[in-house]
Copies of this chain bind each other. A is one copy, B any other.
Protein backbone atom coordinates (compact mmCIF):
# COMPACT_ATOMS: atom_id res chain seq x y z
CA UNK A 1 0.00 0.00 0.00
CA UNK A 2 1.24 3.54 -0.85
CA UNK A 3 2.53 5.40 2.14
CA UNK A 4 0.42 8.26 3.52
CA UNK A 5 2.23 11.02 5.39
CA UNK A 6 1.00 11.60 8.91
CA UNK A 7 -0.02 15.15 8.07
CA UNK A 8 -2.67 13.79 5.73
CA UNK A 9 -4.31 11.37 8.18
CA UNK A 10 -7.05 13.72 9.25
CA UNK A 11 -8.33 13.70 5.65
CA UNK A 12 -8.47 9.90 5.58
CA UNK A 13 -11.10 9.20 8.21
CA UNK A 14 -12.46 5.68 7.94
CA UNK A 15 -9.78 4.64 5.48
CA UNK A 16 -7.05 2.03 5.65
CA UNK A 17 -3.64 3.65 5.46
CA UNK A 18 0.06 2.85 5.53
CA UNK A 19 2.33 5.23 7.43
CA UNK A 20 5.96 5.22 8.52
CA UNK A 21 7.80 7.25 11.11
CA UNK A 22 9.48 7.52 14.49
CA UNK A 23 7.99 6.68 17.87
CA UNK A 24 7.83 10.00 19.69
CA UNK A 25 5.93 8.75 22.73
CA UNK A 26 5.00 5.24 23.92
CA UNK A 27 2.41 4.70 26.64
CA UNK A 28 1.71 1.16 27.76
CA UNK A 29 -1.84 0.78 29.13
CA UNK A 30 -1.76 -3.00 29.51
CA UNK A 31 -4.10 -4.21 26.79
CA UNK A 32 -3.67 -1.02 24.83
CA UNK A 33 -0.43 0.53 23.65
CA UNK A 34 -0.61 4.18 22.67
CA UNK A 35 2.05 5.55 20.35
CA UNK A 36 2.63 9.07 19.13
CA UNK A 37 4.21 8.67 15.70
CA UNK A 38 6.14 11.36 13.83
CA UNK A 39 7.22 11.76 10.24
CA UNK A 40 8.28 14.81 8.19
CA UNK A 41 4.75 16.12 8.12
CA UNK A 42 3.90 15.94 11.80
CA UNK A 43 2.56 13.70 14.55
CA UNK A 44 -0.51 11.56 15.23
CA UNK A 45 -1.68 9.29 17.99
CA UNK A 46 -1.95 5.59 17.22
CA UNK A 47 -3.17 2.68 19.28
CA UNK A 48 -2.36 -1.03 19.13
CA UNK A 49 -4.77 -3.39 20.83
CA UNK A 50 -3.87 -6.74 22.32
CA UNK A 51 -4.87 -9.78 20.31
CA UNK A 52 -3.22 -8.80 17.04
CA UNK A 53 0.33 -9.69 16.08
CA UNK A 54 1.16 -5.99 15.91
CA UNK A 55 0.64 -5.84 19.68
CA UNK A 56 3.53 -8.22 20.21
CA UNK A 57 5.68 -6.30 17.72
CA UNK A 58 4.90 -3.13 19.62
CA UNK A 59 6.17 -4.40 22.97
CA UNK A 60 9.88 -3.56 22.56
CA UNK A 61 9.20 -0.17 20.96
CA UNK A 62 10.70 2.83 22.68
CA UNK A 63 11.24 6.45 21.78
CA UNK A 64 12.97 7.03 18.39
CA UNK A 65 12.34 3.51 17.09
CA UNK A 66 11.44 3.63 13.43
CA UNK A 67 8.34 1.76 12.30
CA UNK A 68 6.07 1.17 9.38
CA UNK A 69 2.39 0.63 10.21
CA UNK A 70 -0.90 -0.14 8.53
CA UNK A 71 -4.23 0.51 10.09
CA UNK A 72 -7.51 2.39 10.03
CA UNK A 73 -8.02 6.08 10.70
CA UNK A 74 -10.80 6.38 13.26
CA UNK A 75 -12.52 9.64 14.04
CA UNK A 76 -12.38 10.35 17.75
CA UNK A 77 -15.60 10.88 19.69
CA UNK A 78 -16.31 14.62 20.01
CA UNK A 79 -15.36 14.73 23.69
CA UNK A 80 -11.95 13.20 22.92
CA UNK A 81 -11.03 15.63 20.14
CA UNK A 82 -8.11 17.94 20.77
CA UNK A 83 -7.23 21.22 19.11
CA UNK A 84 -3.92 20.02 17.66
CA UNK A 85 -2.61 18.32 14.54
CA UNK A 86 -4.62 15.10 14.01
CA UNK A 87 -6.47 15.85 17.24
CA UNK A 88 -9.70 14.59 15.65
CA UNK A 89 -8.43 11.12 14.71
CA UNK A 90 -6.62 8.11 16.04
CA UNK A 91 -4.91 5.47 13.98
CA UNK A 92 -5.78 1.90 14.96
CA UNK A 93 -2.73 -0.11 13.99
CA UNK A 94 -3.35 -3.52 12.47
CA UNK A 95 0.08 -4.34 11.06
CA UNK A 96 3.37 -3.13 12.40
CA UNK A 97 6.98 -3.54 11.23
CA UNK A 98 10.11 -2.31 12.96
CA UNK A 99 12.36 -0.60 10.39
CA UNK A 100 15.08 0.31 12.86
CA UNK A 101 15.43 -0.03 16.63
CA UNK A 102 16.89 2.74 18.80
CA UNK A 103 19.16 2.46 21.80
CA UNK A 104 17.89 3.64 25.14
CA UNK A 105 18.08 7.45 25.19
CA UNK A 106 20.84 8.95 27.37
CA UNK A 107 18.41 11.48 28.84
CA UNK A 108 14.80 12.58 28.68
CA UNK A 109 14.47 14.55 25.43
CA UNK A 110 11.89 16.83 27.04
CA UNK A 111 14.32 17.90 29.76
CA UNK A 112 16.04 21.26 29.55
CA UNK A 113 19.62 20.35 28.66
CA UNK A 114 22.72 22.42 29.17
CA UNK A 115 24.27 23.61 25.93
CA UNK A 116 27.21 21.20 25.98
CA UNK A 117 25.00 18.15 26.38
CA UNK A 118 22.64 19.50 23.73
CA UNK A 119 25.54 19.77 21.30
CA UNK A 120 27.34 16.57 22.31
CA UNK A 121 24.20 14.68 21.32
CA UNK A 122 23.27 16.86 18.36
CA UNK A 123 22.12 14.05 16.01
CA UNK A 124 19.60 13.14 18.69
CA UNK A 125 18.67 16.53 20.16
CA UNK A 126 17.96 18.01 16.71
CA UNK A 127 14.97 15.66 16.67
CA UNK A 128 13.15 17.39 19.48
CA UNK A 129 10.29 19.74 18.72
CA UNK A 130 12.58 22.62 19.66
CA UNK A 131 15.38 21.39 17.41
CA UNK A 132 13.09 20.83 14.47
CA UNK A 133 11.42 24.20 15.01
CA UNK A 134 14.68 26.14 14.99
CA UNK A 135 15.96 24.72 11.72
CA UNK A 136 12.57 24.71 10.01
CA UNK A 137 12.44 28.42 10.74
CA UNK A 138 16.04 28.90 9.61
CA UNK A 139 15.18 27.14 6.33
CA UNK A 140 12.21 29.44 5.85
CA UNK A 141 14.34 32.50 6.59
CA UNK A 142 17.06 31.68 4.11
CA UNK A 143 14.65 30.75 1.33
CA UNK A 144 12.48 33.83 1.93
CA UNK A 145 15.57 36.02 1.98
CA UNK A 146 16.69 34.66 -1.38
CA UNK A 147 13.23 34.90 -2.84
CA UNK A 148 12.83 38.51 -1.69
CA UNK A 149 16.01 39.32 -3.61
CA UNK A 150 15.27 37.20 -6.68
CA UNK A 151 11.91 38.92 -7.12
CA UNK A 152 13.75 42.26 -6.92
CA UNK A 153 16.01 41.24 -9.81
CA UNK A 154 19.08 40.22 -7.85
CA UNK A 155 21.21 37.40 -9.27
CA UNK A 156 22.57 34.75 -6.93
CA UNK A 157 26.20 33.65 -7.14
CA UNK A 158 28.49 31.33 -5.20
CA UNK A 159 31.19 33.28 -3.37
CA UNK A 160 34.41 31.39 -2.69
CA UNK A 161 35.35 30.17 0.78
CA UNK A 162 39.04 29.86 -0.03
CA UNK A 163 40.87 33.14 -0.55
CA UNK A 164 44.41 33.88 -1.61
CA UNK A 165 45.26 36.58 0.86
CA UNK A 166 44.33 38.02 4.16
CA UNK A 167 43.82 41.22 2.22
CA UNK A 168 41.37 43.00 4.45
CA UNK A 169 43.32 42.49 7.62
CA UNK A 170 41.50 42.98 10.88
CA UNK A 171 39.53 39.88 11.69
CA UNK A 172 41.43 36.80 12.74
CA UNK A 173 41.71 34.47 9.80
CA UNK A 174 42.00 30.69 9.50
CA UNK A 175 44.97 29.46 7.50
CA UNK A 176 44.77 26.57 5.04
CA UNK A 177 47.71 24.58 3.69
CA UNK A 178 47.31 25.02 -0.04
CA UNK A 179 49.18 23.74 -3.08
CA UNK A 180 52.77 24.78 -3.89
CA UNK A 181 53.43 25.19 -0.14
CA UNK A 182 51.25 28.25 -0.25
CA UNK A 183 48.97 29.38 2.54
CA UNK A 184 45.38 30.10 1.63
CA UNK A 185 42.83 31.65 3.97
CA UNK A 186 39.20 31.01 4.79
CA UNK A 187 36.99 33.90 3.74
CA UNK A 188 35.95 36.32 6.47
CA UNK A 189 33.41 37.91 4.12
CA UNK A 190 32.18 37.57 0.54
CA UNK A 191 32.40 41.35 0.29
CA UNK A 192 34.94 41.82 -2.49
CA UNK A 193 33.34 39.18 -4.72
CA UNK A 194 29.90 40.57 -4.11
CA UNK A 195 31.04 43.98 -5.26
CA UNK A 196 32.68 42.45 -8.32
CA UNK A 197 29.35 40.81 -9.17
CA UNK A 198 27.65 44.20 -8.86
CA UNK A 199 29.81 45.19 -11.82
CA UNK A 200 28.31 42.24 -13.70
CA UNK A 201 24.66 42.04 -12.71
CA UNK A 202 24.11 45.36 -10.92
CA UNK A 203 22.24 43.47 -8.22
CA UNK A 204 23.81 40.35 -6.77
CA UNK A 205 23.50 38.21 -3.68
CA UNK A 206 25.12 35.22 -2.10
CA UNK A 207 24.50 32.92 0.83
CA UNK A 208 28.07 32.34 1.90
CA UNK A 209 29.99 30.65 4.66
CA UNK A 210 32.41 32.93 6.45
CA UNK A 211 34.99 31.99 9.05
CA UNK A 212 36.33 33.85 12.06
CA UNK A 213 39.29 32.62 14.05
CA UNK A 214 38.50 34.89 16.98
CA UNK A 215 39.22 33.35 20.35
CA UNK A 216 35.80 34.33 21.55
CA UNK A 217 33.37 32.13 23.41
CA UNK A 218 30.47 34.57 23.82
CA UNK A 219 26.82 33.83 23.09
CA UNK A 220 27.08 35.78 19.84
CA UNK A 221 30.23 34.34 18.22
CA UNK A 222 30.82 31.34 15.98
CA UNK A 223 33.85 30.20 14.00
CA UNK A 224 31.74 29.34 10.96
CA UNK A 225 28.79 31.54 10.05
CA UNK A 226 26.22 31.63 7.25
CA UNK A 227 25.97 35.15 5.86
CA UNK A 228 23.16 36.39 3.63
CA UNK A 229 24.78 39.13 1.58
CA UNK A 230 23.44 41.42 -1.10
CA UNK A 231 24.90 44.30 -3.05
CA UNK A 232 23.22 46.72 -5.45
CA UNK A 233 24.37 49.30 -7.95
CA UNK A 234 23.03 52.69 -9.03
CA UNK A 235 22.20 53.85 -5.54
CA UNK A 236 22.05 57.44 -4.35
CA UNK A 237 23.56 56.51 -1.01
CA UNK A 238 23.32 53.96 1.80
CA UNK A 239 19.69 54.88 2.44
CA UNK A 240 18.75 53.01 -0.77
CA UNK A 241 20.38 49.90 0.65
CA UNK A 242 18.54 50.30 3.94
CA UNK A 243 15.24 50.63 2.09
CA UNK A 244 15.94 47.41 0.17
CA UNK A 245 17.01 45.61 3.34
CA UNK A 246 13.87 46.66 5.15
CA UNK A 247 11.72 45.32 2.29
CA UNK A 248 13.62 42.02 2.40
CA UNK A 249 13.34 41.73 6.18
CA UNK A 250 9.61 42.41 6.03
CA UNK A 251 9.21 39.67 3.41
CA UNK A 252 11.21 37.26 5.54
CA UNK A 253 9.19 38.00 8.68
CA UNK A 254 5.95 37.55 6.73
CA UNK A 255 7.15 34.17 5.45
CA UNK A 256 8.07 32.97 8.95
CA UNK A 257 4.71 34.08 10.36
CA UNK A 258 2.83 32.44 7.50
CA UNK A 259 4.68 29.12 7.58
CA UNK A 260 5.19 28.83 11.34
CA UNK A 261 2.24 30.57 12.99
CA UNK A 262 2.50 28.41 16.13
CA UNK A 263 6.22 28.53 16.64
CA UNK A 264 6.47 31.79 18.59
CA UNK A 265 4.42 30.57 21.52
CA UNK A 266 6.65 27.51 21.86
CA UNK A 267 9.66 29.82 22.22
CA UNK A 268 7.95 32.16 24.64
CA UNK A 269 8.05 35.04 22.18
CA UNK A 270 5.94 36.73 19.53
CA UNK A 271 6.17 37.43 15.84
CA UNK A 272 8.64 40.25 15.11
CA UNK A 273 7.06 43.62 15.78
CA UNK A 274 7.10 45.66 12.56
CA UNK A 275 6.20 49.35 12.60
CA UNK A 276 3.53 50.68 10.25
CA UNK A 277 5.97 53.40 9.25
CA UNK A 278 9.50 52.69 8.06
CA UNK A 279 11.94 51.15 10.53
CA UNK A 280 13.24 53.83 12.91
CA UNK A 281 16.61 55.29 11.92
CA UNK A 282 18.98 56.89 14.45
CA UNK A 283 22.44 58.23 13.92
CA UNK A 284 25.00 56.73 16.26
CA UNK A 285 25.07 60.01 18.16
CA UNK A 286 21.29 60.15 18.44
CA UNK A 287 21.23 56.59 19.71
CA UNK A 288 23.95 57.33 22.24
CA UNK A 289 22.14 60.40 23.50
CA UNK A 290 18.94 58.41 23.96
CA UNK A 291 20.85 55.70 25.79
CA UNK A 292 22.41 58.21 28.18
CA UNK A 293 19.12 59.99 28.75
CA UNK A 294 16.91 56.91 29.16
CA UNK A 295 19.28 54.39 30.70
CA UNK A 296 22.09 56.41 32.21
CA UNK A 297 25.76 55.61 31.81
CA UNK A 298 28.23 56.88 29.23
CA UNK A 299 27.75 56.29 25.52
CA UNK A 300 28.34 59.51 23.53
CA UNK A 301 31.74 59.60 21.88
CA UNK A 302 32.21 55.84 21.63
CA UNK A 303 32.81 54.61 18.05
CA UNK A 304 30.18 51.86 18.28
CA UNK A 305 27.42 50.59 20.55
CA UNK A 306 28.28 48.15 23.29
CA UNK A 307 26.16 44.96 23.45
CA UNK A 308 24.34 46.46 26.45
CA UNK A 309 23.66 49.63 24.44
CA UNK A 310 22.25 47.58 21.58
CA UNK A 311 19.79 46.01 24.00
CA UNK A 312 18.85 49.39 25.45
CA UNK A 313 18.26 51.16 22.15
CA UNK A 314 16.14 48.21 20.97
CA UNK A 315 14.11 48.40 24.15
CA UNK A 316 13.58 52.11 23.42
CA UNK A 317 12.64 51.47 19.77
CA UNK A 318 10.10 48.87 20.76
CA UNK A 319 8.49 51.13 23.36
CA UNK A 320 8.64 54.42 21.48
CA UNK A 321 8.40 53.33 17.84
CA UNK A 322 6.59 50.00 18.06
CA UNK A 323 9.45 48.30 16.25
CA UNK A 324 11.67 45.29 16.97
CA UNK A 325 14.05 46.70 14.37
CA UNK A 326 16.11 49.89 14.47
CA UNK A 327 18.75 51.22 12.09
CA UNK A 328 21.85 52.97 13.42
CA UNK A 329 23.76 55.14 10.90
CA UNK A 330 26.80 57.43 10.65
CA UNK A 331 29.43 55.25 12.23
CA UNK A 332 32.95 56.73 12.21
CA UNK A 333 34.64 55.99 8.89
CA UNK A 334 37.85 54.91 10.61
CA UNK A 335 36.01 52.14 12.46
CA UNK A 336 34.42 50.58 9.39
CA UNK A 337 35.94 48.41 6.67
CA UNK A 338 38.20 50.11 4.10
CA UNK A 339 35.61 49.96 1.27
CA UNK A 340 33.08 52.01 3.28
CA UNK A 341 32.13 55.26 1.59
CA UNK A 342 32.65 58.38 3.69
CA UNK A 343 30.02 61.08 3.89
CA UNK A 344 31.33 63.61 1.32
CA UNK A 345 30.20 66.46 3.60
CA UNK A 346 31.88 65.02 6.65
CA UNK A 347 34.42 62.35 5.71
CA UNK A 348 34.96 61.26 9.30
CA UNK A 349 31.47 59.87 9.29
CA UNK A 350 30.55 57.08 6.89
CA UNK A 351 27.58 56.12 4.75
CA UNK A 352 27.20 53.02 6.86
CA UNK A 353 24.54 51.40 8.99
CA UNK A 354 23.80 48.55 11.35
CA UNK A 355 20.40 46.95 11.74
CA UNK A 356 19.58 45.93 15.29
CA UNK A 357 16.86 43.39 16.02
CA UNK A 358 15.70 42.61 19.52
CA UNK A 359 18.89 43.77 21.13
CA UNK A 360 21.40 42.35 18.67
CA UNK A 361 23.14 43.63 15.55
CA UNK A 362 22.03 41.26 12.81
CA UNK A 363 23.09 43.22 9.75
CA UNK A 364 25.82 45.63 8.79
CA UNK A 365 26.05 47.57 5.55
CA UNK A 366 27.14 50.68 3.71
CA UNK A 367 27.72 52.42 0.45
CA UNK A 368 31.14 51.45 -0.98
CA UNK A 369 33.77 53.24 -3.02
CA UNK A 370 33.13 53.11 -6.74
CA UNK A 371 35.86 55.48 -7.94
CA UNK A 372 39.14 53.74 -8.71
CA UNK A 373 41.47 56.54 -7.61
CA UNK A 374 39.60 57.16 -4.37
CA UNK A 375 39.65 53.47 -3.57
CA UNK A 376 43.37 53.10 -4.25
CA UNK A 377 44.11 56.21 -2.19
CA UNK A 378 42.04 54.94 0.71
CA UNK A 379 43.72 51.54 0.67
CA UNK A 380 47.09 53.30 0.90
CA UNK A 381 45.90 55.62 3.67
CA UNK A 382 44.86 52.58 5.65
CA UNK A 383 48.38 51.23 5.40
CA UNK A 384 47.50 48.44 3.02
CA UNK A 385 49.03 47.56 -0.33
CA UNK A 386 46.85 48.23 -3.41
CA UNK A 387 48.84 45.58 -5.30
CA UNK A 388 47.30 42.94 -3.05
CA UNK A 389 43.88 44.17 -4.10
CA UNK A 390 44.60 44.23 -7.82
CA UNK A 391 42.02 41.54 -8.61
CA UNK A 392 39.30 43.39 -6.68
CA UNK A 393 40.36 46.76 -8.08
CA UNK A 394 39.70 45.58 -11.64
CA UNK A 395 36.07 46.20 -10.77
CA UNK A 396 36.71 49.89 -10.07
CA UNK A 397 39.15 50.19 -12.94
CA UNK A 398 36.67 48.98 -15.54
CA UNK A 399 33.67 50.93 -14.37
CA UNK A 400 31.34 50.22 -11.50
CA UNK A 401 28.36 52.36 -10.48
CA UNK A 402 27.83 53.83 -7.04
CA UNK A 403 26.84 50.78 -5.05
CA UNK A 404 26.29 49.45 -1.59
CA UNK A 405 25.11 46.41 0.24
CA UNK A 406 24.87 44.60 3.50
CA UNK A 407 25.18 41.29 5.24
CA UNK A 408 22.79 39.48 7.56
CA UNK A 409 23.93 36.65 9.80
CA UNK A 410 21.50 33.76 9.42
CA UNK A 411 22.21 32.37 12.87
CA UNK A 412 21.84 35.68 14.69
CA UNK A 413 18.64 36.48 12.84
CA UNK A 414 17.18 33.03 13.55
CA UNK A 415 18.20 33.27 17.20
CA UNK A 416 16.47 36.64 17.64
CA UNK A 417 13.31 35.54 15.79
CA UNK A 418 12.99 32.63 18.22
CA UNK A 419 14.26 34.28 21.39
CA UNK A 420 17.25 31.92 21.62
CA UNK A 421 19.83 33.20 24.07
CA UNK A 422 22.94 31.62 22.54
CA UNK A 423 23.55 31.83 18.81
CA UNK A 424 25.24 28.39 18.96
CA UNK A 425 21.81 26.83 19.40
CA UNK A 426 20.76 28.39 16.08
CA UNK A 427 23.36 26.38 14.12
CA UNK A 428 22.77 22.67 13.56
CA UNK A 429 26.50 21.86 13.88
CA UNK A 430 28.21 24.84 15.51
CA UNK A 431 31.97 25.37 15.34
CA UNK A 432 33.73 27.47 17.92
CA UNK A 433 37.04 27.54 19.70
CA UNK A 434 36.04 24.60 21.87
CA UNK A 435 34.00 22.41 19.59
CA UNK A 436 33.76 20.79 16.18
CA UNK A 437 30.88 18.35 16.72
CA UNK A 438 32.59 16.90 19.78
CA UNK A 439 34.43 18.97 22.38
CA UNK A 440 38.02 19.54 21.30
CA UNK A 441 39.47 19.36 24.76
CA UNK A 442 38.19 15.85 25.29
CA UNK A 443 39.74 14.12 22.32
Q: A197: shortest Cβ distance to chain B, in Å? A: 7
Distance in angstroms between the alpha carbons of A192 and B391 in the assembled complex:
36
**Contact A161 B158, CB 8 Å, known A105-B398, A143-B146, A370-B100:** no
Is A427 touching B22 in the complex (CB atoms < 8 A)? Answer: no
Copy number in the complex reads 2
Q: Which residues of B contact A126 (CB under 8 A)?
A: 196-197, 199-200
Is A174 touching B176 in the complex (CB atoms < 8 A)? Answer: yes
Q: Which residues of B contact A161 (CB under 8 A)?
A: 161, 186, 209, 211, 224
Does A219 interact with chain B (Cβ within 8 Å)? no
Interface of A is mostly: mixed
Does A434 interact with chain B (Cβ within 8 Å)? yes
Contact with A371, one of B100, B193, B400, B443 (Cβ below 8 angstroms): B100
**Contact segment of A46-54, A116-124, A245-253, A265-273:** A116-124
Contact with A139, one of B139, B156, B427 (Cβ below 8 angstroms): B156
Distance in angstroms between the alpha carbons of A429 and B440 in the assembled complex:
33
Of listed A102, A410, A427, residue having the most chain B CB within 10 A: A102
Is A394 touching B224 in the complex (CB atoms < 8 A)? Answer: no
Does A417 interact with chain B (Cβ within 8 Å)? no
Is B401 touching A99 in the complex (CB atoms < 8 A)? Answer: yes
Is A124 touching B427 in the complex (CB atoms < 8 A)? Answer: no
Is B40 touching A203 in the complex (CB atoms < 8 A)? Answer: yes
Of listed A178, A371, A392, residue having the most chain B CB within 10 A: A178
Can you name the residue of chain B whose Cβ is closest to the Cβ of A195? Answer: B123
Docked complex: A402-443 residues within 8 A CB-CB of B? 402, 410, 427-429, 431, 433-434, 436-438, 440-441, 443
Distance in angstroms between the alpha carbons of A131 and B200 in the assembled complex:
9
Does A264 interact with chain B (Cβ within 8 Å)? no
Can you name the residue of chain B whose Cβ is closest to the Cβ of A180? Answer: B440
Q: Which residues of B contact A207 (CB under 8 A)?
A: 207
Is B197 touching A402 in the complex (CB atoms < 8 A)? Answer: no
Distance in angstroms between the alpha carbons of A215 and B181 in the assembled complex:
12
Pull 13 A–B residue pairs with CB atoms less than 8 Å apart, ordered by A.
Answer: A40-B233, A99-B370, A101-B399, A123-B391, A124-B394, A126-B199, A127-B398, A132-B200, A138-B157, A139-B155, A158-B428, A161-B186, A184-B436
The 7 A-B residue pairs with the shortest CB-CB distance in the complex, in nearest-first order: A102-B399, A164-B436, A40-B202, A123-B394, A64-B399, A179-B433, A139-B156
